Structure 1
Amino acid sequence: MVLEKHFECKVTDGRGVRKRVGDGKTIDIWKDRWIPGVAGVKDTKDRLFWAHSASGEYTVKSGYRSAQERKIGRRVRNSHEESGCRNEGILPVNENIKAGSMQGNPLCKCCEVCSESTEHMLFLCNHAEAIWKMAPIQWDGLESLRGKFWLWWSELVEATVREKGEEHITFTVNLLWQIWKDRNEINFNGKGRAPGVVVHKALTEWLEYQEIQGEGMEEERELRQRVRKQERWAAPDKGWIKLNTNAALNQQTNKAGWGIVARDWKGKLVATLACPSFTYSAPILEEALAIRTAMVKLLWKAGKGSL
Protein backbone atom coordinates (compact mmCIF):
# COMPACT_ATOMS: atom_id res chain seq x y z
CA MET A 1 0.00 0.00 0.00
CA VAL A 2 1.48 3.36 -1.00
CA LEU A 3 1.91 5.72 1.93
CA GLU A 4 1.53 8.83 -0.20
CA LYS A 5 -2.14 7.92 -0.55
CA HIS A 6 -2.59 8.07 3.20
CA PHE A 7 -0.68 11.28 3.81
CA GLU A 8 -3.93 13.22 3.65
CA CYS A 9 -6.17 10.37 4.76
CA LYS A 10 -9.13 11.58 6.81
CA VAL A 11 -8.86 8.65 9.21
CA THR A 12 -5.37 9.58 10.40
CA ASP A 13 -5.31 13.22 9.30
CA GLY A 14 -1.69 12.66 8.26
CA ARG A 15 -0.53 12.78 11.88
CA GLY A 16 1.08 9.36 11.91
CA VAL A 17 3.13 9.89 8.75
CA ARG A 18 6.77 10.87 9.19
CA LYS A 19 9.69 11.30 6.85
CA ARG A 20 12.68 9.10 7.52
CA VAL A 21 15.82 11.09 6.76
CA GLY A 22 17.96 9.86 3.90
CA ASP A 23 19.84 12.53 1.97
CA GLY A 24 17.58 15.24 3.45
CA LYS A 25 16.86 16.85 0.08
CA THR A 26 13.05 16.66 0.29
CA ILE A 27 12.63 17.62 3.95
CA ASP A 28 11.52 21.01 5.22
CA ILE A 29 12.61 20.80 8.86
CA TRP A 30 10.12 23.49 9.90
CA LYS A 31 7.02 22.07 8.20
CA ASP A 32 7.49 18.34 7.65
CA ARG A 33 7.06 15.73 10.36
CA TRP A 34 10.38 13.93 10.27
CA ILE A 35 11.98 11.31 12.49
CA PRO A 36 14.82 12.83 14.54
CA GLY A 37 17.82 10.72 15.40
CA VAL A 38 20.89 9.35 13.73
CA ALA A 39 21.12 9.87 9.99
CA GLY A 40 21.72 6.88 7.78
CA VAL A 41 25.27 5.88 7.00
CA LYS A 42 24.28 5.00 3.45
CA ASP A 43 23.39 7.49 0.71
CA THR A 44 19.64 6.92 0.48
CA LYS A 45 16.67 9.07 -0.44
CA ASP A 46 14.16 10.40 2.08
CA ARG A 47 11.08 8.23 2.39
CA LEU A 48 7.69 8.34 4.04
CA PHE A 49 7.27 6.23 7.15
CA TRP A 50 4.12 5.32 9.12
CA ALA A 51 5.06 5.82 12.78
CA HIS A 52 2.37 3.58 14.30
CA SER A 53 3.41 0.19 12.92
CA ALA A 54 6.58 -1.88 13.19
CA SER A 55 6.97 -2.20 9.42
CA GLY A 56 6.49 1.50 8.70
CA GLU A 57 3.57 0.71 6.39
CA TYR A 58 0.06 2.01 6.99
CA THR A 59 -2.62 -0.52 7.94
CA VAL A 60 -6.26 0.03 8.83
CA LYS A 61 -5.66 -1.53 12.26
CA SER A 62 -2.73 0.75 13.10
CA GLY A 63 -4.60 3.78 11.82
CA TYR A 64 -7.63 3.00 13.97
CA ARG A 65 -5.47 2.36 17.02
CA SER A 66 -3.70 5.68 16.48
CA ALA A 67 -7.04 7.45 16.29
CA GLN A 68 -8.14 5.86 19.56
CA GLU A 69 -4.96 6.88 21.34
CA ARG A 70 -5.41 10.49 20.25
CA LYS A 71 -9.01 10.42 21.51
CA ILE A 72 -10.23 12.46 18.59
CA GLY A 73 -13.72 12.68 19.96
CA ARG A 74 -16.75 11.98 17.88
CA ARG A 75 -14.89 10.20 15.08
CA VAL A 76 -13.80 7.42 17.44
CA ARG A 77 -17.18 7.46 19.19
CA ASN A 78 -18.88 6.78 15.85
CA SER A 79 -16.59 3.82 15.20
CA HIS A 80 -17.48 2.38 18.62
CA GLU A 81 -21.18 2.89 17.90
CA GLU A 82 -20.92 1.12 14.55
CA SER A 83 -19.14 -1.83 16.15
CA GLY A 84 -21.64 -1.90 19.00
CA CYS A 85 -24.60 -1.93 16.63
CA ARG A 86 -23.14 -4.91 14.77
CA ASN A 87 -22.71 -6.87 18.02
CA GLU A 88 -26.01 -5.87 19.59
CA GLY A 89 -28.45 -8.72 20.13
CA ILE A 90 -25.86 -11.51 19.98
CA LEU A 91 -26.29 -12.76 23.58
CA PRO A 92 -29.16 -15.32 23.69
CA VAL A 93 -31.26 -13.65 26.37
CA ASN A 94 -35.03 -14.19 26.27
CA GLU A 95 -35.77 -10.92 24.50
CA ASN A 96 -33.34 -11.68 21.66
CA ILE A 97 -34.60 -15.26 21.33
CA LYS A 98 -38.18 -14.02 21.04
CA ALA A 99 -37.21 -11.38 18.48
CA GLY A 100 -35.23 -13.86 16.39
CA SER A 101 -37.51 -16.90 16.45
CA MET A 102 -40.87 -15.45 17.51
CA GLN A 103 -40.97 -18.22 20.11
CA GLY A 104 -40.66 -18.32 23.89
CA ASN A 105 -41.38 -15.83 26.64
CA PRO A 106 -39.28 -12.64 26.60
CA LEU A 107 -39.78 -12.03 30.33
CA CYS A 108 -36.87 -12.31 32.76
CA LYS A 109 -37.25 -15.46 34.87
CA CYS A 110 -35.37 -13.86 37.76
CA CYS A 111 -37.84 -11.02 38.38
CA GLU A 112 -40.69 -12.13 36.05
CA VAL A 113 -41.55 -8.47 35.51
CA CYS A 114 -39.38 -7.01 32.74
CA SER A 115 -38.33 -8.20 29.31
CA GLU A 116 -34.91 -9.84 29.55
CA SER A 117 -32.54 -7.78 27.44
CA THR A 118 -28.76 -7.99 27.73
CA GLU A 119 -28.71 -4.83 29.83
CA HIS A 120 -31.54 -6.02 32.07
CA MET A 121 -29.90 -9.38 32.70
CA LEU A 122 -26.45 -7.95 33.48
CA PHE A 123 -27.35 -4.72 35.28
CA LEU A 124 -31.00 -3.75 35.73
CA CYS A 125 -32.71 -6.87 37.13
CA ASN A 126 -33.17 -6.81 40.91
CA HIS A 127 -30.99 -9.92 41.17
CA ALA A 128 -28.18 -8.32 39.11
CA GLU A 129 -28.40 -5.07 41.06
CA ALA A 130 -28.01 -6.96 44.34
CA ILE A 131 -24.90 -8.69 42.97
CA TRP A 132 -23.29 -5.42 41.85
CA LYS A 133 -23.97 -3.78 45.23
CA MET A 134 -22.04 -6.56 46.98
CA ALA A 135 -19.11 -6.48 44.54
CA PRO A 136 -15.80 -5.14 45.94
CA ILE A 137 -15.21 -3.02 42.81
CA GLN A 138 -17.67 -0.34 41.76
CA TRP A 139 -17.88 1.58 38.49
CA ASP A 140 -19.91 4.55 39.66
CA GLY A 141 -19.00 6.63 36.63
CA LEU A 142 -20.56 4.06 34.29
CA GLU A 143 -23.98 3.71 35.93
CA SER A 144 -25.60 6.09 33.45
CA LEU A 145 -24.40 3.89 30.56
CA ARG A 146 -26.01 0.64 31.72
CA GLY A 147 -28.85 1.12 29.26
CA LYS A 148 -26.44 0.25 26.41
CA PHE A 149 -24.05 -2.58 27.18
CA TRP A 150 -21.68 -1.96 24.27
CA LEU A 151 -21.31 1.72 25.29
CA TRP A 152 -20.74 0.72 28.92
CA TRP A 153 -18.11 -1.79 27.77
CA SER A 154 -16.35 0.75 25.53
CA GLU A 155 -15.94 3.09 28.47
CA LEU A 156 -14.90 0.27 30.80
CA VAL A 157 -11.92 -0.78 28.69
CA GLU A 158 -10.61 2.79 28.83
CA ALA A 159 -10.10 2.29 32.58
CA THR A 160 -6.78 0.49 31.99
CA VAL A 161 -5.08 3.84 32.57
CA ARG A 162 -6.25 4.09 36.19
CA GLU A 163 -4.35 2.47 39.06
CA LYS A 164 -4.81 -1.32 38.93
CA GLY A 165 -7.22 -0.75 36.06
CA GLU A 166 -6.42 -4.01 34.27
CA GLU A 167 -6.91 -6.03 37.46
CA HIS A 168 -10.28 -4.37 38.10
CA ILE A 169 -11.41 -5.02 34.54
CA THR A 170 -10.37 -8.67 34.84
CA PHE A 171 -12.49 -9.08 37.97
CA THR A 172 -15.42 -7.28 36.32
CA VAL A 173 -15.32 -9.64 33.33
CA ASN A 174 -15.38 -12.61 35.71
CA LEU A 175 -18.32 -11.10 37.58
CA LEU A 176 -20.25 -10.64 34.32
CA TRP A 177 -19.53 -14.29 33.50
CA GLN A 178 -20.82 -15.41 36.90
CA ILE A 179 -24.01 -13.35 36.48
CA TRP A 180 -24.58 -15.04 33.11
CA LYS A 181 -23.97 -18.51 34.59
CA ASP A 182 -26.37 -17.79 37.44
CA ARG A 183 -28.98 -16.60 34.96
CA ASN A 184 -28.68 -19.91 33.10
CA GLU A 185 -29.12 -21.87 36.34
CA ILE A 186 -32.36 -20.00 36.99
CA ASN A 187 -33.61 -20.41 33.41
CA PHE A 188 -32.82 -24.09 32.96
CA ASN A 189 -32.77 -25.55 36.48
CA GLY A 190 -35.13 -23.20 38.27
CA LYS A 191 -32.65 -22.29 40.98
CA GLY A 192 -29.96 -19.69 41.33
CA ARG A 193 -27.36 -18.61 43.85
CA ALA A 194 -27.59 -15.85 46.41
CA PRO A 195 -25.94 -12.56 45.32
CA GLY A 196 -23.18 -12.98 47.90
CA VAL A 197 -22.36 -16.45 46.60
CA VAL A 198 -22.10 -15.15 43.02
CA VAL A 199 -19.70 -12.38 44.09
CA HIS A 200 -17.65 -14.80 46.21
CA LYS A 201 -17.29 -17.19 43.26
CA ALA A 202 -16.18 -14.38 40.95
CA LEU A 203 -13.71 -13.10 43.53
CA THR A 204 -12.28 -16.57 44.21
CA GLU A 205 -11.67 -17.29 40.52
CA TRP A 206 -10.19 -13.83 40.01
CA LEU A 207 -7.76 -14.31 42.92
CA GLU A 208 -6.74 -17.70 41.51
CA TYR A 209 -6.07 -16.07 38.16
CA GLN A 210 -4.02 -13.30 39.79
CA GLU A 211 -2.02 -15.88 41.75
CA ILE A 212 -1.19 -17.83 38.59
CA GLN A 213 -0.20 -14.63 36.80
CA GLY A 214 1.95 -13.63 39.77
CA GLU A 215 3.71 -17.00 39.80
CA GLY A 216 4.53 -16.62 36.13
CA MET A 217 5.93 -13.12 36.67
CA GLU A 218 7.94 -14.29 39.68
CA GLU A 219 9.50 -17.09 37.64
CA GLU A 220 10.40 -14.58 34.94
CA ARG A 221 12.00 -12.24 37.50
CA GLU A 222 14.02 -15.10 39.01
CA LEU A 223 15.23 -16.12 35.55
CA ARG A 224 16.33 -12.57 34.78
CA GLN A 225 18.18 -12.35 38.09
CA ARG A 226 20.02 -15.61 37.36
CA VAL A 227 20.99 -14.36 33.91
CA ARG A 228 22.28 -11.07 35.36
CA LYS A 229 24.41 -12.94 37.90
CA GLN A 230 25.93 -15.05 35.13
CA GLU A 231 26.71 -12.00 32.99
CA ARG A 232 30.03 -10.35 33.73
CA TRP A 233 31.56 -7.44 31.87
CA ALA A 234 34.72 -8.42 30.00
CA ALA A 235 37.26 -5.69 29.27
CA PRO A 236 38.32 -5.10 25.65
CA ASP A 237 41.95 -5.14 24.50
CA LYS A 238 44.17 -2.20 25.42
CA GLY A 239 43.39 0.90 23.41
CA TRP A 240 39.88 -0.24 22.51
CA ILE A 241 36.46 1.02 23.60
CA LYS A 242 33.70 -1.49 24.26
CA LEU A 243 30.04 -0.68 23.61
CA ASN A 244 27.19 -2.33 25.51
CA THR A 245 23.64 -1.77 24.29
CA ASN A 246 20.18 -2.76 25.40
CA ALA A 247 16.66 -2.22 24.09
CA ALA A 248 13.55 -2.06 26.27
CA LEU A 249 10.01 -2.50 24.95
CA ASN A 250 6.69 -1.55 26.54
CA GLN A 251 3.88 -3.56 24.95
CA GLN A 252 1.16 -1.57 26.68
CA THR A 253 2.23 1.79 25.24
CA ASN A 254 3.78 0.44 22.00
CA LYS A 255 6.99 2.30 22.73
CA ALA A 256 10.63 1.29 22.90
CA GLY A 257 13.90 2.79 24.09
CA TRP A 258 17.62 2.12 23.76
CA GLY A 259 20.46 2.41 26.24
CA ILE A 260 24.13 2.63 25.25
CA VAL A 261 27.22 2.50 27.49
CA ALA A 262 30.83 2.92 26.31
CA ARG A 263 33.82 1.87 28.48
CA ASP A 264 37.55 1.72 27.76
CA TRP A 265 39.86 -1.24 28.46
CA LYS A 266 40.29 -0.07 32.06
CA GLY A 267 36.55 -0.16 32.65
CA LYS A 268 36.36 3.63 32.75
CA LEU A 269 33.04 5.07 31.61
CA VAL A 270 33.55 6.98 28.36
CA ALA A 271 29.98 7.84 27.37
CA THR A 272 26.34 6.93 27.98
CA LEU A 273 23.25 7.51 25.90
CA ALA A 274 19.55 6.86 26.46
CA CYS A 275 17.18 7.56 23.61
CA PRO A 276 13.57 6.69 22.70
CA SER A 277 12.72 4.72 19.60
CA PHE A 278 10.07 6.37 17.44
CA THR A 279 8.86 2.97 16.25
CA TYR A 280 7.89 -0.24 18.00
CA SER A 281 9.03 -3.49 16.42
CA ALA A 282 10.29 -6.97 17.26
CA PRO A 283 12.79 -7.18 20.16
CA ILE A 284 15.60 -8.48 17.93
CA LEU A 285 15.13 -5.54 15.55
CA GLU A 286 15.14 -3.01 18.38
CA GLU A 287 18.35 -4.59 19.71
CA ALA A 288 19.91 -4.32 16.24
CA LEU A 289 18.87 -0.67 15.93
CA ALA A 290 20.41 0.07 19.32
CA ILE A 291 23.72 -1.48 18.20
CA ARG A 292 23.65 0.44 14.91
CA THR A 293 22.95 3.72 16.72
CA ALA A 294 25.82 3.08 19.13
CA MET A 295 28.28 2.43 16.30
CA VAL A 296 27.22 5.49 14.30
CA LYS A 297 27.45 7.71 17.38
CA LEU A 298 30.95 6.41 18.07
CA LEU A 299 32.01 7.07 14.47
CA TRP A 300 30.73 10.62 14.64
CA LYS A 301 32.57 11.22 17.90
CA ALA A 302 35.76 9.86 16.32
CA GLY A 303 35.30 12.20 13.34
CA LYS A 304 34.78 9.46 10.77
CA GLY A 305 32.10 9.46 8.12
CA SER A 306 31.56 5.82 7.26
CA LEU A 307 31.96 2.34 8.62
Structure 2
Amino acid sequence: MTWNRSLLREVLSVEEANVVSKIPISLSRSPDQLIWRLTKNGLFTVKSAYHLLGEMKNLYKKRIKESALCPICTRDSESTTHALWSCPSAQDAWGLSSRKLQKERVVESPFSSIVGHMFSVLDENDMSTFASIVHQLWKRRNQYVFEGKYDAPETVVSTATKLVLNYKEANRIQVSRDKPVAPSVRSWSAPPLHAFKANWDASVDKVQCKVGIGVVIRDWNGCVVATLRSQRDLLPDPLLA
Protein backbone atom coordinates (compact mmCIF):
# COMPACT_ATOMS: atom_id res chain seq x y z
CA MET A 1 0.00 0.00 0.00
CA THR A 2 1.26 3.47 -0.91
CA TRP A 3 0.02 7.03 -0.59
CA ASN A 4 -1.97 8.58 -3.44
CA ARG A 5 0.62 11.26 -4.14
CA SER A 6 -1.43 13.01 -6.84
CA LEU A 7 -4.33 13.44 -4.39
CA LEU A 8 -1.98 14.68 -1.66
CA ARG A 9 -0.63 17.38 -3.98
CA GLU A 10 -4.19 18.48 -4.79
CA VAL A 11 -5.22 19.11 -1.19
CA LEU A 12 -1.87 19.97 0.45
CA SER A 13 1.10 22.18 -0.28
CA VAL A 14 4.22 20.55 -1.72
CA GLU A 15 5.99 20.63 1.64
CA GLU A 16 3.00 19.16 3.49
CA ALA A 17 2.49 16.47 0.84
CA ASN A 18 6.15 15.42 1.10
CA VAL A 19 5.90 15.12 4.88
CA VAL A 20 2.63 13.15 4.78
CA SER A 21 3.89 10.75 2.09
CA LYS A 22 6.76 9.73 4.39
CA ILE A 23 4.36 8.52 7.10
CA PRO A 24 4.30 4.68 7.08
CA ILE A 25 0.94 3.14 6.22
CA SER A 26 -0.34 0.52 8.65
CA LEU A 27 0.02 -3.03 7.34
CA SER A 28 -2.86 -4.20 9.52
CA ARG A 29 -5.34 -2.04 7.54
CA SER A 30 -6.79 -0.77 10.80
CA PRO A 31 -9.19 2.19 10.48
CA ASP A 32 -7.71 5.69 10.66
CA GLN A 33 -8.11 7.69 13.85
CA LEU A 34 -7.61 11.44 14.26
CA ILE A 35 -5.31 12.28 17.17
CA TRP A 36 -4.20 15.79 18.19
CA ARG A 37 -0.84 15.42 19.92
CA LEU A 38 -1.05 18.71 21.86
CA THR A 39 -3.85 17.58 24.16
CA LYS A 40 -3.89 14.70 26.62
CA ASN A 41 -7.14 13.20 25.27
CA GLY A 42 -6.07 13.53 21.63
CA LEU A 43 -8.90 15.93 20.77
CA PHE A 44 -8.34 19.24 18.99
CA THR A 45 -8.94 22.50 20.84
CA VAL A 46 -8.59 26.06 19.59
CA LYS A 47 -6.45 26.92 22.62
CA SER A 48 -3.92 24.21 21.79
CA ALA A 49 -3.79 25.38 18.17
CA TYR A 50 -2.89 28.90 19.27
CA HIS A 51 -0.25 27.41 21.51
CA LEU A 52 1.17 25.55 18.51
CA LEU A 53 1.17 28.59 16.25
CA GLY A 54 2.63 30.85 18.88
CA GLU A 55 3.78 34.32 18.15
CA MET A 56 6.32 34.69 15.34
CA LYS A 57 8.28 37.05 17.55
CA ASN A 58 9.02 34.15 19.87
CA LEU A 59 10.26 32.09 16.94
CA TYR A 60 12.61 34.93 16.06
CA LYS A 61 13.87 35.13 19.63
CA LYS A 62 14.59 31.41 19.53
CA ARG A 63 16.43 31.94 16.20
CA ILE A 64 14.00 29.70 14.35
CA LYS A 65 13.24 32.66 12.07
CA GLU A 66 15.82 34.98 10.56
CA SER A 67 13.60 38.04 10.89
CA ALA A 68 10.68 39.08 13.06
CA LEU A 69 9.13 41.00 10.17
CA CYS A 70 6.21 39.72 8.15
CA PRO A 71 7.67 37.90 5.12
CA ILE A 72 4.95 39.29 2.85
CA CYS A 73 4.64 43.00 3.70
CA THR A 74 8.13 43.19 5.34
CA ARG A 75 6.98 46.23 7.33
CA ASP A 76 5.48 45.03 10.61
CA SER A 77 6.38 42.33 13.09
CA GLU A 78 4.61 39.09 12.27
CA SER A 79 2.15 37.68 14.74
CA THR A 80 -0.79 35.36 14.27
CA THR A 81 -3.13 38.35 14.16
CA HIS A 82 -0.94 40.16 11.65
CA ALA A 83 -0.54 37.14 9.36
CA LEU A 84 -4.23 36.24 9.30
CA TRP A 85 -6.00 39.56 9.84
CA SER A 86 -4.23 42.92 9.88
CA CYS A 87 -1.49 42.48 7.27
CA PRO A 88 -2.32 44.53 4.14
CA SER A 89 -2.08 41.35 2.08
CA ALA A 90 -4.63 39.67 4.37
CA GLN A 91 -6.90 42.73 4.32
CA ASP A 92 -6.88 42.62 0.51
CA ALA A 93 -8.52 39.20 0.80
CA TRP A 94 -10.93 40.17 3.59
CA GLY A 95 -12.02 43.15 1.46
CA LEU A 96 -13.31 40.70 -1.16
CA SER A 97 -15.28 38.56 1.31
CA SER A 98 -18.83 39.01 2.59
CA ARG A 99 -20.04 42.46 3.64
CA LYS A 100 -20.20 41.48 7.30
CA LEU A 101 -16.51 40.57 7.25
CA GLN A 102 -15.62 43.70 5.28
CA LYS A 103 -17.18 45.89 7.97
CA GLU A 104 -15.12 44.42 10.80
CA ARG A 105 -12.45 46.74 12.21
CA VAL A 106 -8.76 46.04 11.80
CA VAL A 107 -7.39 45.65 15.31
CA GLU A 108 -4.22 44.16 16.77
CA SER A 109 -6.00 42.09 19.40
CA PRO A 110 -4.99 38.49 20.11
CA PHE A 111 -6.35 36.36 17.32
CA SER A 112 -8.30 34.26 19.83
CA SER A 113 -10.25 37.43 20.73
CA ILE A 114 -10.97 38.12 17.07
CA VAL A 115 -12.30 34.58 16.60
CA GLY A 116 -14.46 34.90 19.71
CA HIS A 117 -15.85 38.19 18.42
CA MET A 118 -16.65 36.60 15.05
CA PHE A 119 -18.59 33.82 16.75
CA SER A 120 -20.74 36.45 18.47
CA VAL A 121 -21.57 38.55 15.38
CA LEU A 122 -21.56 36.15 12.42
CA ASP A 123 -24.10 33.55 11.40
CA GLU A 124 -23.13 29.98 10.59
CA ASN A 125 -22.60 30.67 6.88
CA ASP A 126 -20.32 33.70 7.38
CA MET A 127 -18.45 31.93 10.17
CA SER A 128 -17.72 29.03 7.83
CA THR A 129 -16.42 31.48 5.24
CA PHE A 130 -14.30 33.25 7.87
CA ALA A 131 -12.67 29.97 8.97
CA SER A 132 -12.06 28.89 5.38
CA ILE A 133 -10.41 32.19 4.42
CA VAL A 134 -8.21 32.02 7.54
CA HIS A 135 -7.05 28.59 6.44
CA GLN A 136 -6.31 29.79 2.91
CA LEU A 137 -4.39 32.83 4.20
CA TRP A 138 -2.22 30.63 6.40
CA LYS A 139 -1.69 28.22 3.53
CA ARG A 140 -0.76 31.10 1.20
CA ARG A 141 1.69 32.46 3.77
CA ASN A 142 3.46 29.10 4.02
CA GLN A 143 3.50 28.63 0.24
CA TYR A 144 5.14 32.04 -0.12
CA VAL A 145 7.76 31.32 2.56
CA PHE A 146 8.65 27.78 1.51
CA GLU A 147 7.86 27.70 -2.22
CA GLY A 148 7.94 31.32 -3.36
CA LYS A 149 4.33 31.11 -4.60
CA TYR A 150 1.81 33.87 -3.88
CA ASP A 151 -1.91 33.56 -4.62
CA ALA A 152 -3.87 36.70 -5.47
CA PRO A 153 -6.58 37.82 -2.99
CA GLU A 154 -9.26 36.80 -5.50
CA THR A 155 -7.84 33.27 -5.56
CA VAL A 156 -7.76 33.07 -1.77
CA VAL A 157 -11.42 34.09 -1.40
CA SER A 158 -12.72 32.06 -4.34
CA THR A 159 -10.92 28.92 -3.15
CA ALA A 160 -12.20 29.39 0.40
CA THR A 161 -15.76 29.95 -0.82
CA LYS A 162 -15.61 26.90 -3.06
CA LEU A 163 -14.40 24.71 -0.20
CA VAL A 164 -17.31 25.83 1.98
CA LEU A 165 -19.84 25.15 -0.80
CA ASN A 166 -18.34 21.72 -1.51
CA TYR A 167 -18.45 20.86 2.18
CA LYS A 168 -22.09 21.88 2.50
CA GLU A 169 -23.05 20.02 -0.66
CA ALA A 170 -21.31 16.85 0.52
CA ASN A 171 -23.16 17.04 3.85
CA ARG A 172 -26.48 17.75 2.12
CA ILE A 173 -26.09 14.65 -0.06
CA GLN A 174 -25.12 12.53 2.95
CA VAL A 175 -28.09 13.74 4.98
CA SER A 176 -30.48 13.04 2.09
CA ARG A 177 -29.07 9.52 1.79
CA ASP A 178 -29.36 8.85 5.52
CA LYS A 179 -32.85 10.32 5.86
CA PRO A 180 -35.43 7.51 5.93
CA VAL A 181 -38.15 7.72 3.33
CA ALA A 182 -41.56 7.60 4.91
CA PRO A 183 -43.79 5.00 3.23
CA SER A 184 -46.87 6.25 1.48
CA VAL A 185 -49.89 5.03 3.45
CA ARG A 186 -53.42 5.40 2.15
CA SER A 187 -56.32 5.12 4.56
CA TRP A 188 -59.13 2.74 3.64
CA SER A 189 -62.66 4.13 3.49
CA ALA A 190 -65.65 1.91 4.22
CA PRO A 191 -68.44 1.39 1.65
CA PRO A 192 -72.08 2.38 2.39
CA LEU A 193 -74.18 0.28 4.79
CA HIS A 194 -74.87 -3.28 3.55
CA ALA A 195 -72.45 -2.79 0.64
CA PHE A 196 -69.12 -4.46 -0.17
CA LYS A 197 -65.92 -2.97 -1.47
CA ALA A 198 -63.21 -4.65 -3.55
CA ASN A 199 -59.62 -3.39 -3.53
CA TRP A 200 -57.06 -4.79 -5.93
CA ASP A 201 -53.40 -4.44 -6.87
CA ALA A 202 -51.06 -5.97 -9.41
CA SER A 203 -47.33 -6.50 -9.97
CA VAL A 204 -45.50 -7.13 -13.23
CA ASP A 205 -42.40 -9.26 -13.86
CA LYS A 206 -41.15 -8.25 -17.29
CA VAL A 207 -38.24 -10.70 -17.17
CA GLN A 208 -40.42 -13.77 -16.57
CA CYS A 209 -43.37 -12.29 -18.51
CA LYS A 210 -45.72 -12.76 -15.56
CA VAL A 211 -48.34 -10.61 -13.89
CA GLY A 212 -49.72 -11.15 -10.38
CA ILE A 213 -53.12 -9.86 -9.26
CA GLY A 214 -54.55 -9.67 -5.74
CA VAL A 215 -58.09 -8.76 -4.66
CA VAL A 216 -59.53 -8.13 -1.18
CA ILE A 217 -63.28 -7.73 -0.54
CA ARG A 218 -64.50 -6.08 2.69
CA ASP A 219 -67.96 -5.33 4.06
CA TRP A 220 -69.25 -2.03 5.43
CA ASN A 221 -67.59 -2.77 8.81
CA GLY A 222 -64.18 -3.33 7.20
CA CYS A 223 -64.24 -7.08 7.76
CA VAL A 224 -62.56 -9.17 5.05
CA VAL A 225 -65.12 -11.50 3.47
CA ALA A 226 -63.10 -12.78 0.50
CA THR A 227 -59.63 -12.69 -1.08
CA LEU A 228 -58.24 -13.69 -4.43
CA ARG A 229 -54.77 -13.95 -5.86
CA SER A 230 -53.83 -15.13 -9.30
CA GLN A 231 -50.82 -15.30 -11.62
CA ARG A 232 -51.11 -14.94 -15.36
CA ASP A 233 -48.76 -14.93 -18.32
CA LEU A 234 -47.92 -11.46 -19.56
CA LEU A 235 -47.66 -10.76 -23.27
CA PRO A 236 -45.94 -7.37 -23.58
CA ASP A 237 -46.38 -7.29 -27.37
CA PRO A 238 -49.97 -6.26 -28.29
CA LEU A 239 -49.76 -8.21 -31.57
CA LEU A 240 -48.94 -11.47 -29.75
CA ALA A 241 -51.65 -10.80 -27.22
Which residue matches 1:197? 155
Residues 131, 196 of structure 1: 8 Å contact kept: yes
Q: Deviations over 1:84-105 (max 9, x none)?
A: 9887553156323124x24421
**1:96 corresponding residue in structure 2:** 58
Structure number with higher relative contact order (C-alpha < 8 Å, ≥ 6 residues apart)? 1
Q: Distance in 1 between matches of 2:112 and 2:49?
A: 8
Partner of 1:245: none
Task: Trace 1:145-294 onto structure 2 (pairs within 5 A).
Answer: 146-159=108-121, 165-220=123-178, 223-224=179-180, 226-229=181-184
Change (3 A) 1:93 1:148: closer
Among 120, 125, 135, the alignment partner of 2:87 is 125
Match of 2:100 in 1: 138
- Cross-structure match for 2:42: none
Q: Which has the higher helix share?
A: 1
Distance 2:48 2:174 in 1: 37
Equivalent residue pairs, number: 144
Contact kept, 8 Å, 1:122 with 1:128, in 2: the verdict is: yes
2:78 corresponds in structure 1 to 116
Q: TM-score, normalised by structure 1?
A: 0.41
Q: Structure 2: which 5+ runs fail to align?
A: 1-44, 189-220, 222-241
Task: Look up the equivalent residue of 1:229 and give its one-letter code.
Answer: S
SS of residue matched to 1:139: helix
Q: Is the alpha carbon distance of 1:232 and 1:152 closer, same or farther for their aligned partners in structure 2, counting shifts above 3 Å?
A: farther
Larger CA Rg, structure 1 vs 2? 2
2:114 aligned counterpart, secondary structure: helix
Q: CA RMSD in A?
A: 3.1
Which consecutive unaligned segments of at least 5 residues does structure 1 have? 1-82, 234-265, 267-307
Q: Residue 137 of structure 2 aligns to which amino acid in structure 1?
A: I
Shift of 1:145: 5.1
Flag as ranges the 4+ runs of structure 1 deviating above 4 A. Answer: 83-89, 230-233
